[in-house]
Amino acid sequence: MPSLCENYFCKDMTDATASDFISLCGKIKTLAPDRKKHSTLGKKNIKASTQTSWLNLEKPNDKLSEKHVAKRNEPPQTVSVEEWVKDWVASPSQKTESGKCAFCKFPGHGAADCYYLNISNRPNGWKPRRALWCYQP
């Protein structure tokens, strides 16, 4: 199929002028009778996607607060937080086979002395890791 350029004004684009280009644009418009319908749909889609993007950017914290991310060793909803901590502290398996805390998997202590479970053992300025559940009374 010949190109629009070959059909309407020149065989080689190197000899086209600005007026040839404008003429070609006019002829293209006549070849696309449904152009308004298509261009309107395209604009609506672009506008809708832009609005959605802006809505997502304006309220990032709302989306985060709606979605709960489970943390490692988080108590199930059927067990109270206090009961969960009491069970871990009284557990017969305080450490793993490699000598690490059974709760947090860090070396040097057992579950009864773990900062994540025992508030009185926490040093000033200590901050828990986000991925691991921490007792907050």
Whether the predicted model's global pTM rises above the 0.95 cut:
no
Average pLDDT for 19-43? 68
Q: Report which of 45, 43, 24 is spatially closest to residue 35, judged by C-alpha positions.
A: 43
Average pLDDT for 33-48? 54
Segment 103-118, tens digit of pLDDT: 999 999 999 999 999 9
Distances (CA, A) of 62 to 49, 52, 56, 65, 130: 19, 15, 9, 5, 19
Q: What per-residue confidence (pLDDT) applies to 104?
A: 94
Give residue limits of the domains in the chain: 4-66, 68-137
Cα–Cα distance for residue pair 134/106, rounded to 1 Å: 14
Average pLDDT for 59-67? 57
Is 60 exceeded by the pLDDT of residue 55? no
Residue 38 vs residue 16, higher pLDDT:
16
